[in-house]
Amino acid sequence: MNKSGITVFCDFDGTISRRDIGYNIFKHFSHGKNDELLPDWKSGRLSSRECLLKEAEMSPVTAEELFPFLDQFKLDDGFPAFEKKCSENNIDLIILSDGFDLYINYMLKKNNLDRLSLITNHGWIENGFINIEFPHKNKTCTKCGSCKGERIREYRNANRETTRIVFVGDGYSDACATDEADILFAKKDLEKYCQINDIEYWPYDTFYDVIRQLEKMKILSES
Ligand SMILES: [Mg+2]
Ligand SMILES: [Zn+2]
């Protein structure tokens, strides 16, 4: 039961984690070959599904190699405090990612945050490669792997008590979510996207900035 009527959706890569872990996995294990795909993905010629599958094909990796590689990555220092504040204020917090669960679950568990809800694609290692499946079907969006805009609409339809949506993101894979957010926090490529498309947003660097802004707006209580 969502008593506050507010639900926060957060992107994972580059938002909850400081760096884009999905991208760095493929960059490292494809020896930089995945960068050849970026221009086509950014321009929309390559969908996120096609891009993820191609990146995985280029990147041989075993579990013994992947998990130690992940240990270099850190979460935003302010995220645990943000998560605690949301919980104290009866605000639901859901992670929405167009990466995949294999590395996100590992990072959440390592940081004692694996109680959080996560909506993303499914990845697993088999025969020396990462396999990826897309359990969340998109009705209209052809660009995203798991479209964040469609996931938020599904959530709204199933949870009528939710009156306001907060979204926090940093990249092009968050573009579809901007239509659904009542309060939007953006940095990096998502900030550029908002400026070009004349979308209202709050700039931020870390989750401490998000906390401060939501306190000012009386959405989070001040401590
Ligand atoms: Mg991101
Ligand atoms: Zn989409």
User: Which of 134, 136, 130 is closest to 152 using CA atoms?
Assistant: 136
For residue 25, give the 3-state DSSP assignment: helix
41-46, long-range: CB < 8 A, 24+ apart: 42/172, 44/143
Report CA(69)–ligand 1 centroid distance (Å): 19
Residue 40 has what pLDDT?
A: 94
User: Which of 16, 116, 94, 83 is closest to 220 using CA atoms?
Assistant: 83
Report CA(119)–ligand 1 centroid distance (Å): 14
Residue-wise pLDDT for 107-134, tens only, equals: 999 999 999 999 999 999 999 999 999 9
Residue-wise pLDDT for 57-77, tens only, equals: 999 999 999 999 999 999 999
How far is it, in rounded angstroms, from Cα 169 to Cα 177?
A: 9
Report CA(185)–ligand 2 centroid distance (Å): 18
Instruction: Give the pLDDT mean for 146-175.
Output: 95
**pLDDT range class, residue 3, cuts 50, 70, 90:** confident
Residue 42 has what pLDDT?
A: 86
Contact 23, 41 (CB under 8 A): no
Report CA(2)–ligand 2 centroid distance (Å): 26
Instruction: Give the pLDDT mean for 17-24.
Output: 97
Q: Compute the mean pLDDT over every residue in the chain, rounded to the nearest whole number.
A: 96
pTM to 2 decimals? Answer: 0.96
* Domains detected in the chain: 6-216 (3.40.50.1000)
Residue 77 has what pLDDT?
A: 97
Report CA(204)–ligand 1 centroid distance (Å): 14
Tokens in use for 196? 């070009």
Residue 1 has what pLDDT?
A: 52
Report CA(119)–ligand 2 centroid distance (Å): 14
Based on the number of CB atoms within 10 Å of its own CB, is 81 exposed (0-12), middle (13-18) or buried (19 or more)? middle
How far is it, in rounded angstroms, from Cα 104 to Cα 99?
A: 8
Report CA(170)–ligand 1 centroid distance (Å): 5
How far is it, in rounded angstroms, from Cα 121 to Cα 118?
A: 10
Instruction: Give the pLDDT mean for 49-62.
Output: 97
pLDDT over threshold 60, residue 186: yes
Q: Which ligand is nearest to the CA of 22?
A: 1
pLDDT over threshold 60, residue 160: yes
